[in-house]
Structure formats: structure tokens, C-alpha cells
């Protein structure tokens, strides 16, 4: 494992602007930079990069982090892998520390699976090119489809024979039996590769799944009798395989293609076939062609079109679109002449549009796919057809459906609605306006009608997105909020209690909405307004801990009665302990505890420590609290105004924030006490009524004292 000194060296060297710029086009926005968020379908640039904080954050989806956190999220890799990525980028030598057993095992599992995949890739190629069956069956298949040897070598295709070996296997009881192992599986075991990396455990995701274990304990080759297409990551690692049954064997076969199972290194929805071979051409051409199958990609390369990838027969996913969007804004989707396939792919068009891509489509002649079309035409004819037949999605949909709609007002209305739905997902307003004009002209309708329909659909989409976010938020498990200190369990229902300050509300009776940070769901979630209000006060305490936790705010007596300097974090912790109060959110407790543990370390700076924290949740929260981009609360705005008139030091700020927090707790208890007094049963119980009223007087006395400390509530 990487030692702390090396981690600090990497953190110091890694520049957030430099790192993010490898994946996102950034533009200057005052002291910061901004661009389209790489983590969601950003409609307008909401991804902010702060050079001063060395941090990035999307103010729409909340994702971001320091350089390490960004790389972890963007590349979907672990913390140590992200550190190694940055160390390589900045030429830093890694000094390792001893890893835990779990860390060692997980890293070994991943590396072992990549090693097994690399071995298998070479084995499949050897079978194709060097064995009689491979040349007679596998190579003949590729040559029969017109592929040149240089294309086969470029994509490292292979062959898995329909062969097996008889192996004597001895069980734990010493019994020996004869089992038939697949040729590849047997050779892999003989080469020393462990069985667990050949098969696949769907629960843990461990294992490549190239072998399937039978009930008797033998290993059968997953891809037996198939030609093999290795799938590479963008960096060139073999992450999985696709195997196609040969044409002569397709009769009666329901599944022509067999793919690697999901694992800790492979997920079909996150991979694009041919991306490794195409990435340079996509960048150079500033355009990506999207097709469906493996041989479609190979055929286009053979025709001189190298900027092409395949979704490998799956419905297009957001993860796949983001991979393409990292390289270009422009995409042309190529469909074959199958109407059912075209209509089933309409959702993919809208997904591309929603991620801000410039989408064009191309329909091949009926009965052709890119592979078969390339075999019928030379490279020049193929490229000419591509250049001349690309159309935008409106013309594509109109040409596809208008003939069906002729003379049928209902079908024509459905066609218009179909196009309107696609226009509505486009994030750029100018682009939407251009397409509205084009649709109106094509459909011979008033532009105003199309514009109104698009506006309504945009609003509907927004409302649906809001509902979806709320549903996701509701599914999250939120930490419980208890009363501080606890109130009686038999407290009666609570009518309105006038005269007690209520939480801040807007004209609609709603609390101010927090930003899109990961912290926001913790504050809102399923909580009532009073709980939200208390958490907002607690948040202000944590803001001080992050921004100024290590700074001295005064002195306190030690065990010998001698004065010693006390930091802001220590003062907050001591004040809470003195009044027997505890923080509500576990993450706040973790933040304060970690500050106290490190507060006296040499050169400790709370803000830097927490923003660079290896825990991405703490790192994100720390940036959220420290960020200059975040609007200050009403309380801080008032204090800033006051600070302009008087010497308002950190010690005073800490005292006022603590007082506000305590006042919120007292006022909550006052409201609860007043509600109790309105219970008829309480009035009929003189002893209990006296106790409640005594408690009310005590709370009012505390409230007056706290109000005095607040300066007549000026600071609130």
C-alpha cells in the first residue's frame, strides 16, 4: 500500500485543473473554471473547478472531489489505483506500505483476472492461427466474411475449439474419477491459473467466467466452438470476451453470442467494443460512428473508417455515452434496414440528445448492416455513402414515419409528439429553437404550436426528474434524529404554539432548498422542518471546524489548573460536552472526532486535511462547507454585515454559532412543552401540570440567557 508521505506528495503535485482538463473542456468563470459535468447529462455547464481549493464539484448532481476523488469517480477505480494513476501522470515514485489482508486480496483478484484474460486472449489467437482446426474452421469463417489478416490481427480475434480433455480428478475422500475438461480450461489449469479466476462467482464478481463448472466438478469452456472477440478498456487491457457461434452451427441456436459475465473488472453496460482501436481516430475526426456488432466495427475499419465503436448488441447506456462524449460531441448512429430494430432504438437517440451530443443518423439499405454493406462495396463507395446519407434526427424520424402518417391525422400527431419529446431533452436552448423551426417547416405547422409543445414537454421532463430524485432520496436510509435532551415518550399530539419562533420559511411555507451537494439529502431527506432547522445550525458548527478548526480561539484550564491554548474544534467539543449535547449526524461526529485527533499534529490544517481525506464522503462534505461558491446562510450574511462594523473575531463567531445551536434546541423544547400544556388530560392532573410549567419556566430562563448572549438576537 502507498505510504502517507507518498500520498501527500501526490496530493501536493496533483493540480485539479490539469487533471479535470484531460476529460472536460473548461472555460474561465471568474476565479474558477466551469464545464459540462462528466457524471450526468449536464444541460448547461454546472461543473465548477476551483484552483484555489484544488477541488471540483457539480452543483447539479453533487459529484466531484479532489484530484484523487475525481479520478476514482470518472475512471471507476479504487483509491490506490487513482493514486497510482496520478503518480504516473506526475512522475512520482510510489513508496508502498503494507496493505491489509482485504486490500491485498482485492487487488490480487483484479490483477489475477486481468492476467488470466491476457493469457486466454493469446491462447485464443494461437488456436485460430496455429492449429489445424483453428485455421480450417475459425480462420475460414473470418476469411469467408472478407476480413484481411491485418484487421484480424488489429482486433486480436481468436478461436475456441470444440474439444475436451479427459482428466483424472481425486476428491477429498481419495476417490478418483475421470472428468472431461474443456481444452482451454484444462490448459489454463496446467499453466497454473486458479479455478476461481476461470469460473465466475456472481455474488462477489470474482472470476472471468471463461469456464463453467459442471455439477460433477469438471470445467466446460464457455466459448467452445466459437470465434472470439476480445473486449479492451480504453487503456488497452483485456476486460472481457464475446464469442460467436459459427454460421454453420447457428441453426436452432437461440443465442449466437456469448459474452463474459459481470465481474469486478467487466460490466457490459460500461464497455464499447472497438473503443481502444478507435479513440485516436475519434479525437482526430471529432466524430464517432456507433454501430451494433463486433464485425460491423471490423468491416468499417477495413473500409478505412476507424472512428467507430459498437454497443455490442445492448441497449445504449449512459455510461457508454459518457465514454464517447469524453472524446467528441458528435455522433452518427448507423442502423441497418430492419424497421423493428430502428424503432426499438429510439430511446438511445433521446439519451444521446439529453447528454448534449450532436446526433446524426444513417439508415443503410434494407437488409444490410455495416458488415454486409462493406462487403458489397469498396472502401471509396462505403465512405461516400456515409458522407452523403447522414441526416439529423428530425429528418430521420420524419422520413421513417411520415409515409405511415400520410392521410392519418392521429398518426401525424403521434409523429409530431415523438419529435417534440426528442427536442425537449436537448439541453441547449438555441439548438432546441433551431430544431423547432425545422420541425415546423417539415411538418407544415405553425412554429408557435411546436414551441409550446416543446415547452410543456421540457416542464414535464423536469417534474419527472424532480420526482425521481425525490424517490431516490426517500429510498435512502437516513440517520435518526432524537430530541436533545430527550422529551417524555408519552408526549401528546402537538397543536400550534404561537409565540415561539418557527423555522425560517419562504412565502410558500417551504424551507430554503439546499444545493445539489451530497450533504443536501442528509439535511432534508424525510425530516420535518424542525429537524432540518437544527441540522442547518449544526452545519454551521461543522463549517467552523473545517474552515478554522485548528485556529486558537482562547484558553482553557488543564487538569493542573494551568491555562492552555484551545482551538476552535476543541472549544466546540468542550461546550457540547459541558451541556451534555451530542451532534445529530454521524458524519458530523466523525468530522469533529477526526479534527480532535489531528489538531495538534505539526502543520495540521483542517481545511486541507478534510478536503484531501481518503473518505470521499468526508472530502465532499468538507469542500461543500469550505467552498466559496456556496451561498452563505442568512445567519452568516448578518454576521458578515456586523463584522464590517466591529471587530468580529473567530472566538466571537464560535460563541455565537454555539449559542444559536443551543437556542434552537431550547426553542424546540419550549414548543413541545407548550403543546403539552394544551392537553386536557394534563390540566386535570395538577401535579403533572405543575411539573410541566416548572420545566417551561426553566426553559424560558435559559432562552433569555441565550438571547442575551446573542445580543438580542441580532446575529440570528
Does this model's pTM top 0.75? My answer is no
From the list 230, 193, 227, the residue with the least C-alpha distance to 109 is 193
Q: Omega before 485 cis (within 30°)? A: yes
* Residues 673 and 550 sit within 8 Å (Cβ to Cβ): no
* Residues 266 and 238 sit within 8 Å (Cβ to Cβ): no
| Superfamily name and number for 4-89 | Zinc finger, CHC2-typedomain (3.90.580.10)
Report whether CATH 3.50.50.60 matches the domain 267-389: no
pLDDT tens per residue, range 13-39:
888 999 999 888 898 888 789 999 888
DSSP state of 206: B
- CA dist 474 and 653 (Å) reads 35
From the list 393, 433, 439, the residue with the least C-alpha distance to 416 is 439
How far is the CA of 435 from the CAs of 44, 358, 413, 431, 454, in angstroms? 18, 12, 17, 6, 10
60-74, 140-154, 272-286, 515-529: range with lowest mean pLDDT: 515-529
> Which alpha helices (DSSP H) does 40-131 contain, by range?
67-75, 79-89, 101-130
Bridge-based pairing state of the strands 563-567 and 55-58: unpaired
pLDDT tens per residue, range 507-555:
333 333 333 343 444 444 445 677 778 888 888 999 999 988 898 888 7
Sign of the four-CA dihedral 32, 33, 39, 44 = positive
pLDDT tens per residue, range 361-378:
888 887 788 888 888 888
- CA dist 352 and 356 (Å) reads 7
Mean pLDDT of the chain: 79
Q: How many CB atoms lie within 10 A of CB 233?
A: 19
| Superfamily name and number for 110-265 | DNA primase, catalytic core, N-terminal domain (3.90.980.10)
- CA dist 339 and 60 (Å) reads 38
Query: Buried (b) or exposed (e) across 360-389, using 16+ Cβ within 10 A?
Result: bbbbbeeebbbbbbbbeeeeeebeebbeee
* Residues 103 and 189 sit within 8 Å (Cβ to Cβ): no
- CA dist 60 and 46 (Å) reads 6
Q: Determine the pLDDT at residue 643.
A: 38
Res. 114 pLDDT band, cuts 50 70 90: very high
Q: Which residue has the higher pLDDT, 59 or 640?
A: 59
Helical (H) or strand (E) element with 19: helix 16-21
- CA dist 641 and 124 (Å) reads 72
Question: For helices 568-578 and 529-548, what crossing angle results, to 10°?
Answer: 140
Q: What does the domain layout of the chain look like in residue ranges? A: 4-89, 110-265, 267-389, 402-475, 520-709
**Does residue 87 have a pLDDT over 70?**
yes
Sign of the four-CA dihedral 398, 399, 401, 405 = positive
Q: How many CB atoms lie within 10 A of CB 515?
A: 15
pLDDT tens per residue, range 650-707:
888 888 888 888 888 888 888 888 877 777 777 777 778 888 788 778 878 777 777 7
- CA dist 410 and 338 (Å) reads 24
Q: Determine the pLDDT at residue 482.
A: 32
Phi, psi of 165 (to 5 degrees): -120, 140
Helical (H) or strand (E) element with 554: strand 552-557
Amino acid at each position: 500500500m502507498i505510504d502517507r508521505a507518498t500520498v501527500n506528495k501526490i496530493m501536493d503535485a496533483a493540480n485539479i485543473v490539469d487533471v479535470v482538463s484531460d476529460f472536460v473542456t473548461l472555460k474561465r468563470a471568474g476565479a474558477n473554471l466551469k464545464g459540462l459535468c462528466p457524471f450526468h447529462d449536464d444541460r448547461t455547464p454546472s461543473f465548477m473547478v476551483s484552483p484555489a481549493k484544488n477541488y471540483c464539484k457539480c452543483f447539479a448532481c453533487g459529484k466531484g472531489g479532489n484530484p484523487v476523488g475525481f479520478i476514482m469517480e470518472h475512471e471507476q477505480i479504487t483509491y490506490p489505483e487513482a493514486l497510482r494513476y496520478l503518480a504516473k501522470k506526475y512522475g512520482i515514485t510510489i513508496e508502498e506500505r503494507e496493505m491489509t489482508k482485504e486490500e491485498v486480496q482485492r487487488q490480487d483478484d483484479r490483477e489475477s483476472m486481468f492476467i488470466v484474460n491476457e493469457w486466454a486472449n493469446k491462447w485464443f489467437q494461437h488456436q485460430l492461427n496455429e492449429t489445424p482446426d483453428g485455421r480450417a474452421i475459425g480462420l475460414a469463417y473470418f476469411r469467408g466474411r472478407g476480413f484481411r489478416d491485418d484487421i484480424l490481427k488489429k482486433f486480436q480475434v481468436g478461436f475456441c475449439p470444440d474439444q475436451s480433455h479427459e482428466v483424472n480428478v481425486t476428491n477429498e475422500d481419495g476417490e478418483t474419477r475421470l472428468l472431461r475438461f474443456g481444452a482451454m480450461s484444462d490448459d489454463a489449469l496446467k499453466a497454473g491459473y486458479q479455478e476461481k479466476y476461470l469460473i465466475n462467482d456472481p455474488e462477489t464478481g470474482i472470476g472471468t467466467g471463461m469456464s463453467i463448472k459442471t455439477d460433477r466438478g469438471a470445467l466446460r469452456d464457455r466459448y467452445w466452438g466459437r470465434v472470439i472477440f476480445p473486449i479492451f478498456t480504453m487503456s488497452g487491457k483485456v476486460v472481457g470476451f464475446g464469442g460467436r457461434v459459427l454460421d454453420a452451427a447457428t441453426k436452432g441456436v437461440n443465442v449466437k453470442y456469448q459474452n463474459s459475465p459481470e465481474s469486478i473488472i467487466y460490466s457490459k453496460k460500461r464497455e464499447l467494443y472497438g473503443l481502444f482501436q478507435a479513440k485516436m481516430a475519434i479525437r482526430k475526426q471529432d466524430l464517432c460512428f456507433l454501430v451494433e456488432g463486433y464485425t460491423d466495427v471490423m468491416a468499417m475499419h477495413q473500409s478505412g473508417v476507424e472512428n467507430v465503436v459498437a454497443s455490442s448488441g445492448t441497449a445504449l447506456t449512459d455510461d457508454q455515452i459518457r465514454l464517447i462524449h469524453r472524446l467528441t460531441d458528435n455522433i452518427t448512429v448507423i442502423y441497418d434496414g430492419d424497421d423493428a430494430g430502428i424503432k426499438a432504438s429510439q430511446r438511445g437517440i433521446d439519451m444521446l440528445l439529453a447528454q448534449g451530443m450532436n446526433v446524426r443518423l444513417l439508415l443503410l439499405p434494407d437488409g444490410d448492416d455495416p458488415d454486409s454493406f462493406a462487403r458489397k462495396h469498396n472502401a471509396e463507395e462505403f465512405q461516400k455513402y456515409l458522407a452523403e446519407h447522414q441526416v439529423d434526427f428530425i429528418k430521420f424520424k420524419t422520413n421513417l414515419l411520415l409515409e405511415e402518417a400520410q392521410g392519418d391525422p392521429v398518426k401525424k400527431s403521434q409523429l409530431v409528439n415523438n419529435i417534440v419529446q426528442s427536442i425537449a431533452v436537448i439541453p441547449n436552448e438555441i439548438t432546441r429553437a433551431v430544431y423547432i423551426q425545422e420541425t415546423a417547416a417539415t411538418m407544415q405547422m405553425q412554429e408557435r404550436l411546436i414551441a409550446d409543445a416543446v415547452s410543456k414537454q421540457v416542464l414535464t421532463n423536469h417534474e419527472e426528474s424532480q420526482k425521481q430524485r425525490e424517490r431516490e432520496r426517500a429510498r435512502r436510509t437516513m440517520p435518526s434524529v432524537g430530541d436533545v435532551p430527550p422529551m417524555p415518550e408519552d408526549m401528546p399530539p402537538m397543536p400550534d404554539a404561537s409565540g415561539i419562533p418557527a423555522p425560517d420559511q419562504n412565502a410558500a411555507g417551504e424551507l430554503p432548498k439546499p444545493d445539489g451537494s451530497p450533504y443536501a439529502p442528509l439535511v432534508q431527506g424525510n425530516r420535518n422542518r424542525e429537524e432540518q432547522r437544527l441540522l442547518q445550525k449544526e452545519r454551521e458548527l461543522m463549517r467552523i471546524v473545517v474552515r478554522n478548526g485548528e485556529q486558537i480561539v482562547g484558553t482553557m484550564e488543564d487538569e493542573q489548573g494551568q491555562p492552555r491554548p484551545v482551538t476552535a474544534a476543541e472549544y466546540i467539543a468542550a461546550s457540547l460536552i459541558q451541556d451534555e449535547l451530542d451532534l445529530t449526524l454521524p458524519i458530523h461526529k466523525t468530522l469533529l472526532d477526526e479534527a480532535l485527533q489531528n489538531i495538534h499534529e505539526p502543520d495540521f490544517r483542517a481545511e486541507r486535511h478534510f478536503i484531501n481525506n481518503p473518505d470521499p464522503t468526508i472530502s465532499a462534505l468538507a469542500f461543500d462547507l469550505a467552498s466559496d461558491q456556496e451561498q452563505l446562510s442568512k445567519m452568516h450574511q448578518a454576521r458578515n454585515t456586523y463584522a464590517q462594523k466591529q471587530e468580529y473575531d473567530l472566538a466571537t463567531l464560535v460563541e455565537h454559532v454555539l449559542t444559536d445551536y443551543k437556542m434552537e434546541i431550547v426553542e424546540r423544547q419550549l414548543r413541545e412543552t407548550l403543546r403539552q400544556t394544551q392537553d386536557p388530560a394534563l390540566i386535570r392532573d395538577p401535579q403533572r401540570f405543575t411539573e410541566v410549567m416548572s420545566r417551561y419556566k426553566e426553559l424560558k430562563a435559559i432562552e433569555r440567557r441565550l438571547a442575551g448572549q446573542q445580543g438580542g438576537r441580532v446575529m440570528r
